[in-house]
């Protein structure tokens, strides 16, 4: 019946230029398991070579690392290093050593472990007038932070705010950090003691919010600390 | 496949599944699934310390906000990674806040956590000993509110929805944020953490592994040499 | 001899020329079509979320206009990476891959068993529930109910719906298999059965051991409920992480990969006209894969606080994964290449997708092999290389198989052709270059990031690693956008085809009713349809 009705004939493709060219495997129902085969008597040689190399690698990881045994935790090559772990806390550390750890944990995010800062954003501490100058002024920066642009050796750092650290660190820890940055990366200036930080904390207690550059220069102009001049 | 063949097939599949199930789940569950805390000789303290209730609530906030997709909480031994060199294994000593303890983490470190977040990705830093690097809640609040204060190009989002701005009534709130002038709220207003923010920070401050554990985890209490 | 549809004809001659297979295709038409349509819908949702999540990993000043979204994410939890990334991954794995895989499994079982689909009503109910479960789960993640356990982020209430839905779908699939005609065994059946048995075990164990909480997060934050906020997971501490790794790798290697391999073992020899090469090794490949592949879970555990025995045994076993990967590669890629050469013609619509899927299977297997080497794993363990691996399994291997199979299956179900060769070509090349770029960006980027993180210089910090990674993250967003163009075109093409098909059906049924009610006169010319149409 439908042969007589042109409406029931297949539609021509709406976009003949995009028509999909008929490709036999896409349309013809071929057998699920074709009878034709490509003859391969055995696996090719390179497969055995690859397998050999891989087995060798698996074996070497097994011999180089053999922490078997109930209760051992995965450790990596070399097995448990009992001696290293049970050495316990080290002997008393110098202020600069304590300062280095505090610095790396708290300050290095901006000023970098190398003390070099980031151009334009975070001032370099290496050879800086602010670091090597007045100890009192440097302590004031750490206590209350800085806002606004800061010039150091002709370079302007303008983008970021340094937070205050007075609520974070004790006077001892602050002294250790300041001693560390004044004596590292080629910096050579006198150490800062906890008593000096305590005195500065009392002296600048009235300051609220961060300093700007002009305020800091009022505390002390550039130039070496009196302790270093002697 | 006939029915007997199918039965054999089914049992072989079952056996293959059981093999991995035993090795990856049952065996670890038997060995490290029920570790008790250990007690030092002559002391009533247990190691590790239990976690406060607020910190357990913080675990749920940590999970809901997907922190674990960028942060890990595991420190590998120095023989199998540079985690110790990155400083992630350094904790504040529980018995003396001036001292530090640097070590890898062990299963016993996690026994009090209701849900563990060991993580698979270090887009951010490892948080095993976060409380050593951020010692007060105020620092963490400030960092969560504005992570760019420490790293201007940080890819960490600012979690400002964990804070709310409200009018100061009576004395200023003790946990209110102290911000630089540009970010500070108008006079008479303060920015304070929400309940979720507070429990998250309580959890983060509990992340400090400042005690010694025996390296082989065989359950013998370890006494630090300095105690004698 | 079957006749090919002539190139100008788009709506006839696609149904199978084997009447038995044509009847089977007709019986699975609606369940399989619903599976494919909903799966493609989740693919579009998941791809969109993935591109957005990827763009959140850049610093906000790197891409113009991104700052707006970053600002949004500051104030609203919906838009943060921690919500979007799990939603994207889950909608790809559960919404797209699992739903499409279920449709493929039903079609494959019915065909290879020469059995009409059993209990189609139960099957369709299951598919509907499955989609409801995925939708509920994604909503739950955005509302803050995510558990942060990879691939088990859906809140508990959603996992119960998914579980029920799976049981309904599997009942129909197993009944279809049991109704098979004697003598119709095919290796593809074994692969599909493994997947059908593996998923309930994985999902039941995973969702009850890791996804269950006694108290929902919102009530946990209620101070009045403080006495009962605790939830318990079995075993304390790190066992959860071991179960989690077992689950994630189980989903990739025992659920999604076997479904796709079943399709490839059926279609590649059928279309290339030669039997599987090295077919005597196909069984060995099958068994070695299901024994060894789940042990790739230890790639997420190396060096961590886990029992040394599990990690060491796991690394050795997953290090043997080259055995099944090589054998399956020889079976599939070898057959595909030799078949094309033998027939002397290349191209068509379906075959390039299937060949590429088989090649990506070998690449993904090779990357698992790399991760099983301890010193390499140590470097790549916490980097974006892991995402590269995930994308290779889900986006590369599984999706390419599913695309090829859909290009093959849908015309046979509808007796209606795809609309445009051009769109298929764009889809193919966008996908190929997209997945190659993912390899280049996430794979190579992971290596760079890993070497930075493992740098023995103590001055290197996480900030340094972040700076190394960021350009690769931007590249990843670009190639994910390329993939999303391809996927979007596929979705549009499917929609266009269905619309045209519906229009044709309406026209035909109208004409049929006309013929029924109008007396047929031999001499009279056929009526013009415009005159009677309303």
Answer whether residue C59 shows pLDDT above 80.
no
Q: Is the pLDDT of residue B204 over 90?
A: yes
Q: CB of C459 within 8 Å of any CB in chain A?
A: yes
pLDDT given for residue C528 in this prediction: 54
Average pLDDT, chain C: 87
Q: Which residues pair with A162 in a beta bridge?
A: A146
Band of the pLDDT at C213, cuts 50, 70, 90? low
Judge whether B41 lies within some domain. Answer: no
| Domain limits for position B15 | 1-28
Q: Enumerate the β-bridge partners of residue B101.
A: B91
| B2 & B78 share domain | no
Task: Judge whether B33 lies within some domain.
Answer: no
Q: Check whether residue B159 and residue B70 sit in a common domain.
A: yes
Please give the average per-residue pLDDT across C505-533, as a whole number: 67
Task: For the beta carbon of residue A3, count every other beta carbon within 10 angstroms.
Answer: 7
Closest alpha carbon to C72 in C58, C56, C95: C56
What count of CB pairs under 8 Å joins A to C? 202
Q: How far apart are CA C83 and CA C78, in angstroms?
A: 6
Separation between Cα atoms, residue C393 and residue C368, nearest integer Å: 11
CATH for the C15-192 domain, from 2.60.40.10, 1.20.210.10, 1.10.10.10, 3.40.720.10: 1.20.210.10
> Residue written as tokens 């906030």?
B61
Dump pLDDT digits (tens) for C435-475: 999 888 999 999 999 999 998 888 888 888 888 998 899 99
CATH number at residue A118: 1.10.760.10
pLDDT of residue C214 exceeding 50, the answer is no
**Residue A2 structure tokens:** 């439908």
**C382 → closest Cβ in B34, B116, B122:** B122
pLDDT at B216: 43
Query: What chain C residue is nearest to B125 in terms of C-alpha separation?
Result: C462
Contact C123, C177 (CB under 8 A): no
Buried b (16+ CB within 10 A) or exposed e, B48-73: beebeebbbbbbbbbbbbbbbbbbbb
Taking Cα atoms as reference points, which of A96, B17, B3 lies closest to residue C290?
A: B17
Highest mean pLDDT among A209-223, B161-175, C98-112: C98-112
Q: How far is A139 from chain B (nearest CA, A)?
A: 19
Of C198, C235, C297, the CB nearest to B24: C297
Minimal-distance CA residue of chain B relative to C474: B155
* Least CB–CB distance from B161: residue in C75, C384, C469: C75
Asked whether residue C260 carries a pLDDT value surpassing 90, the answer given is yes
Q: Is residue A221 part of a domain?
A: yes
Choose the most confident range, by mean pLDDT, from A8-17, B86-95, C71-80, C350-359. C350-359
Tokens 């592994």 found at: B209
Distance CA C530, CA C10 (A): 23
Nearest CA to C86 out of B91, B215, B120 is that of B120
A147-186 pLDDT, tens digit each:
777 888 777 876 567 877 877 778 888 888 888 888 888 8
Distance, C-alpha B198 to centroid of its chain: 16
Query: What is the pTM (predicted TM-score) of this model?
Result: 0.81
- Contact C85/B109, CB-based, under 8 Å? no
Q: Which residues of B touch C85 (CB under 8 A)?
A: 66, 69
**CA–CA dist C116, C123 (Å, integer):** 13
B77 touches chain C (CB under 8 A): yes
Q: Under a CB-based contact definition with an 8 Å cutoff, are residues A152 and A160 in contact?
A: no
Q: In chain A, how many domains are there?
A: 1
Range of the domain at A142: 95-229
Q: What is the pLDDT of residue C225?
A: 38
C351/A25 touch (CB, cutoff 8 Å), yes or no: yes
Q: How many CB pairs under 8 A join A and B?
A: 85
CATH of the domain at B90: 1.10.760.10
Is A53 inside any structural domain? no
The answer to whether residue A59 is domain-embedded is: no
How distant is the Cα of A64 from the closest Cα of chain C, in angstroms? Answer: 10
A 140-179 residues inside an 8 A Cβ radius of C: none
Which chain B residues have a beta carbon less than 8 Å from that of A147?
A: 180-181
Residue A5 has a pLDDT of 55
Residue C99: per-residue pLDDT: 97
Give CA–CA dist C154/C138, Å, rounded.
7
Q: What is the pLDDT of residue A6?
A: 53
Interchain CB contact of A164 with B (< 8 Å): yes
CA A16 to chain B, closest CA, distance in angstroms equals 47
Reduce the DSSP state of residue A49 to 3 states and report it: helix
Give the range among B56-60, B63-67, C11-15, C526-530 with minimum mean pLDDT. C526-530
Cα–Cα distances in angstroms (integers) from residue C171 to residues B4, B146, C176, in the given order: 21, 53, 9
Distance CA C189, CA C60 (A): 50
pLDDT per residue as tens digits for the range C152-185: 999 888 999 999 999 999 999 999 999 988 888 8
Whether residues B115 and B209 fall in one domain:
yes
> What CA–CA distance (Å, rounded) separates B111 from B36?
8
Q: Output the pLDDT for position C209.
A: 84
Is residue B83's pLDDT more than 50? yes
By the 8 A CB rule, do C210 and C233 touch?
A: yes
A37 domain residue, yes or no: no
Is A61 at the interface with chain C, CB within 8 A? Answer: yes
pLDDT value of residue B222: 39
B116 Cβ under 8 Å from any chain C Cβ: yes
| Gap between the Cα atoms of B221 and B47, Å rounded | 9
Instruction: Say if residue B102 is in the same domain as residue B138.
Output: yes
Listed in sequence order, the residues at least 6 apart from C150 whose beta carbon sits closer than 8 Å to its beta carbon are B120, C86, C89, C244, C248
Contacts of A24 in chain C (CB under 8 A): 4, 345
Query: What would the 3-class secondary structure string for C56-116 be?
Result: CCCCCCCCCCHHHHHHHHHHCHHHCHHHHHHHHHHHHHHHHHHHHHHHHHHHHHHHHHCCC
Chain A residue whose CA is closest to C463:
A109
> Can you tell me the distance from the alpha carbon of C172 to that of C182, in angstroms, rounded to the nearest whole number?
19
Q: How confident is the model at residue C14 (pLDDT cuts 50, 70, 90)?
A: confident
Among C144, C148, C388, most B C-beta atoms within 10 A, so best to mutate, is: C148
Q: Beta B38-39 vs A155-157: how paired, if at all?
A: unpaired
List Cα–Cα distances, B49 to B110, B116, B128, C43, C262, in angstroms: 10, 16, 15, 46, 52
Q: Is A26 on the interface with C (CB under 8 A)?
A: yes
8 Å CB contact between C306 and C243: no
Q: Where are the alpha helices (DSSP H) in C141-216?
A: 156-178, 187-209
Two tokens at A95? 């202020």
- CA B42 vs. chain centroid, Å, equals 29
**Chain A residues with CB-CB distance to C504 below 8 A:** 11
| Euclidean distance between CA atoms C526 and C508, whole angstroms | 15
Whose CA is closest to C387, among C301, C436, C446, C431?
A: C446
**What is the three-class DSSP state of A74?**
coil
The yes-or-no verdict on residue A2 having pLDDT over 60 is: no
pLDDT of residue A230: 61
Q: How confident is the model at residue C113 (pLDDT cuts 50, 70, 90)?
A: very high
Any CB–CB contact under 8 A between C381 and chain A? no
Query: Does B82 lie in the same domain as B137?
Result: yes
| Residues B116-140, mean pLDDT to the nearest whole number | 92
Inside any domain, residue A48: no
Q: Do A4 and C526 touch (CB under 8 A)?
A: yes
Q: Strand B46-47 and strand B90-92: pairing?
A: unpaired
Which SS3 state, helix, strand or coil, does residue C342 take? helix
Q: How far is the C-alpha of C173 from the C-alpha of C165, rounded, in Å? A: 13
Helix C308-319 to helix A45-64 angle, to the nearest 10 degrees?
A: 170
Asked if the structure places residue B152 within a domain, the reply is: yes
Q: What number is the ipTM of this complex?
A: 0.91
Interface test with B, best of A68, A80, A85 (most B CBs within 10 A): A85
Task: Tell me phi and psi for residue A156, to 5 degrees.
Answer: -100, 125
What are the pLDDT digits (tens) for C222-258? 333 333 333 445 556 889 999 999 999 999 999 999 9
Closest partner CB to A61 (pick from C272, C319, C334): C319
- Return d(Cα C285, Cα C242) in angstroms, integer: 26
Looking at the DSSP bridge assignments, the partners of residue B92 are B100
For chain B, how many structural domains are there in total?
2
- pLDDT, residue A72, reads 62
Which of C21, C312, C508 has the CB atom closest to A65's CB atom? C312
In a domain, A180, yes or no: yes
Which residues does B191 contact at the CB level (< 8 Å), separation at least 6? Answer: B145, B163, B164, B165, B176, B177, B179, B185
- What's the gap between Cα A97 and its chain centre? 22
> What pLDDT shows up at residue B188?
84
A67 located within any domain: no
* Cβ–Cβ gap B82/C147 under 8 Å: no
A149 within 8 A of A121, measured Cβ to Cβ: no
- Residue B75 near residue B105 (C-beta atoms within 8 A): yes
Backbone torsions φ then ψ of A152, nearest 5 degrees: -140, 120
Annotate C264-327 with DSSP letters as a single string: HHHHHHHHHSSPPTTGGGHHHHHHHHHHHGGGGGGGGTTTSSSBHHHHHHHHHHHHTTHHHHHH
Q: Does C298 touch chain B (CB under 8 A)?
A: yes
B22/B89 same-domain check: no
Q: Give long-range contacts, CB 8 A cutoff, 24+ apart: B168-176.
A: B175/B137, B175/B138, B175/B141
Calpha distance C207→C150 (Å, rounded): 11
Q: Supply the pLDDT for residue C70.
A: 66
* For C13, nearest residue in chain A (alpha carbons): A27
Residues B103 and B82: their CA atoms lie apart, in Å, by 12
Whether the predicted pLDDT of B123 surpasses 70: yes
- Which pLDDT band holds residue C286 (cuts at 50, 70, 90)? very high
Residue B42 has pLDDT above 90, yes or no: no
* Residues A43-88 pLDDT 10s: 878 888 877 887 777 666 655 444 454 456 665 554 333 333 333 3
Indicate which of C199, C203, C204, C238 best probes the interface with B, i.e. most B CBs within 10 Å of its own CB.
Answer: C238
Residue B139 Rama label (left phi>0; alpha psi -120 to 50; beta):
alpha
> Which residues of A fall within a CB distance of 8 Å from B132?
105
B42 falls within a domain? no
Of A6, A12, A31, the CB nearest to C9: A12
Using a 10 angstrom Cβ sphere, with 0-12 exposed, 13-18 middle and 19 or more buried, the burial of residue A127 is middle
Distance, in Å, from the CA atom of B215 to the CA atom of C21, rounded to the nearest integer, reads 64
Provide, as residue numbers in chain B, all residues whose Cβ is less than 8 Å from the Cβ of C204. none
pLDDT at C268 over 70: yes
What rounded mean pLDDT belongs to chain B?
83
Residue A12 DSSP SS3: strand
- Judged on CB neighbours under 10 Å (0-12, 13-18, 19+), B227 is exposed
Length of chain C: 534
């Amino acid at each position: 019946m439908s042969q007589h009705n042109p409406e029931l004939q297949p539609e021509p493709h709406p976009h003949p230029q995009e028509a999909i060219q008929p490709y036999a495997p896409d349309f013809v129902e071929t057998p699920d398991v074709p009878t034709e085969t490509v003859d391969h008597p055995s696996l090719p040689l390179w497969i055995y070579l690859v397998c050999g190399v891989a087995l060798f690698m698996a074996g070497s990881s097994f011999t180089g690392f053999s922490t078997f045994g109930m209760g051992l935790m995965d450790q990596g090559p070399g097995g448990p290093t009992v001696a290293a772990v049970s050495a316990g806390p080290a002997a008393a550390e110098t202020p600069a050593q304590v300062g280095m750890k505090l610095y790396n944990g708290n300050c290095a995010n901006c000023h970098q472990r190398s003390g070099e800062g980031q151009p334009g954003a975070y001032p370099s501490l290496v050879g800086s007038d602010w670091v090597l100058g007045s100890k009192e002024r440097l302590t004031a920066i750490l206590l209350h932070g800085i806002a606004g642009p800061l010039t150091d050796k002709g370079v302007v750092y303008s983008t970021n705010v340094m937070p205050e650290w007075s609520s974070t660190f004790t006077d001892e820890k602050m002294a250790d950090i300041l001693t560390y940055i004044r004596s590292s990366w080629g910096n050579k200036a006198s150490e800062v003691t906890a008593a000096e930080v305590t005195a500065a904390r009392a002296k600048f207690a009235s300051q609220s919010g961060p300093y700007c550059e002009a305020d800091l220069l009022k505390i002390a102009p550039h130039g070496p600390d009196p302790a270093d001049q002697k | 496949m006939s029915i007997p063949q199918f039965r054999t097939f089914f049992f072989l599949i079952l056996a293959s599944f059981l093999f991995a199930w035993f090795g990856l789940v049952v065996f670890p569950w038997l060995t490290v699934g029920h570790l008790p805390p250990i007690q030092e000789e002559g002391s009533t303290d247990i190691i590790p310390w239990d976690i406060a209730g607020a910190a357990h609530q913080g675990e749920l906030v940590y999970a809901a906000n997907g922190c674990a997709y960028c942060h890990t909480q595991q420190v590998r031994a120095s023989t199998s990674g540079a985690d110790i060199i990155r400083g992630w294994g350094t904790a504040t000593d529980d018995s003396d806040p001036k001292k530090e303890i640097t070590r890898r983490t062990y299963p016993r470190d996690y026994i009090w956590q209701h849900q563990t977040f060991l993580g698979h990705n270090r887009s951010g830093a490892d948080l095993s000993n976060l409380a050593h690097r951020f010692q007060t809640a105020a620092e963490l609040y400030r960092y969560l509110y504005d992570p760019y204060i420490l790293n201007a190009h940080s890819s960490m989002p600012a979690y400002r929805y964990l804070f709310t701005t409200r009018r100061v009534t009576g004395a200023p709130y003790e946990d209110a944020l102290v911000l630089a002038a540009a970010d500070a709220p108008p006079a008479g207003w303060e920015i304070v953490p929400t309940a979720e923010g507070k429990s998250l920070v309580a959890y983060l401050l509990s992340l400090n592994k400042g005690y010694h554990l025996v390296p082989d985890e065989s359950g013998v209490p370890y006494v630090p040499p300095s105690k004698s | 001899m079957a006749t090919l549809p002539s190139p100008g004809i788009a709506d006839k001659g696609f149904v199978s020329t084997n009447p038995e297979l044509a009847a089977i295709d007709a019986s699975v038409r609606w369940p399989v079509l619903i599976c494919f349509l909903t799966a493609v819908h989740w693919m579009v949702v998941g791809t969109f979320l993935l591109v957005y999540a990827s763009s959140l990993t850049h610093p906000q000043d790197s891409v113009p206009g991104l700052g707006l979204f970053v600002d949004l994410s500051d104030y609203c939890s919906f838009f943060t990476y921690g919500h979007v990334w799990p939603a994207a991954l889950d909608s790809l794995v559960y919404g797209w891959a699992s739903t499409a895989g279920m449709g493929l499994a039903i079609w494959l079982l019915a065909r290879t068993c020469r059995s009409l689909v059993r209990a189609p009503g139960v099957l369709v109910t299951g598919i509907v529930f499955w989609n409801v479960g995925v939708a509920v789960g994604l909503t739950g993640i955005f509302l803050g109910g995510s558990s942060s356990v990879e691939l088990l982020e859906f809140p508990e209430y959603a996992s119960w719906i998914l579980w029920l839905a799976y049981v309904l779908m599997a009942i129909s699939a197993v009944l279809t298999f049991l109704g098979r005609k004697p003598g119709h065994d095919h290796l593809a059946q074994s692969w599909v059965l493994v997947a059908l048995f593996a998923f309930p075990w994985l999902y039941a164990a995973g969702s009850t051991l890791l996804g269950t909480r006694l108290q929902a997060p919102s009530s946990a934050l209620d101070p009045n409920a403080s006495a009962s906020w605790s939830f318990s997971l079995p075993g304390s501490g790190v066992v959860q992480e071991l179960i989690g790794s077992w689950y994630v790798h189980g989903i990739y290697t025992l659920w999604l990969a076997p479904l796709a391999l079943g399709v490839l073992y059926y279609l590649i020899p059928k279309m290339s006209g030669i039997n599987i090469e090295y077919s005597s090794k196909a069984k060995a490949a099958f068994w070695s894969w299901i024994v060894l592949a789940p042990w790739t879970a230890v790639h997420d555990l190396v060096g961590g606080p886990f029992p040394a025995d599990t990690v060491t045994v796991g690394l050795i076993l997953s290090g043997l994964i080259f055995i099944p990967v090589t054998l399956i590669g020889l079976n599939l890629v070898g057959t595909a290449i030799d078949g094309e050469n033998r027939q002397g013609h290349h191209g068509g619509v379906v075959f390039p997708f299937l060949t590429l899927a088989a090649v990506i299977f070998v690449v993904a297997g090779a990357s698992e092999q790399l991760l099983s080497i301890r010193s390499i794993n140590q470097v790549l363990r916490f980097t974006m290389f892991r995402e590269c691996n995930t994308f290779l399994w889900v986006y590369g291997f599984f999706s390419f198989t599913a695309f090829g199979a859909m290009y093959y299956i849908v015309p046979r179900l509808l007796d209606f052709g795809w609309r445009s060769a051009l769109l298929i070509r764009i889809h193919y090349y966008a996908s190929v270059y997209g997945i190659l770029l993912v390899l280049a960006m996430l794979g190579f980027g992971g290596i760079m990031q890993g070497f930075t993180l493992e740098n023995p210089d103590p001055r290197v910090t996480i900030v340094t690693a972040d700076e190394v990674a960021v350009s690769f993250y931007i590249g990843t967003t670009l190639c994910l956008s390329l993939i999303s163009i391809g996927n979007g075109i596929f979705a549009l093409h499917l929609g266009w085809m269905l619309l045209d098909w519906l229009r044709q059906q309406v026209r035909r049924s109208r004409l049929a009713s006309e013929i029924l009610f109008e007396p047929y006169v031999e001499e009279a010319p056929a009526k013009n349809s415009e005159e009677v149409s309303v």
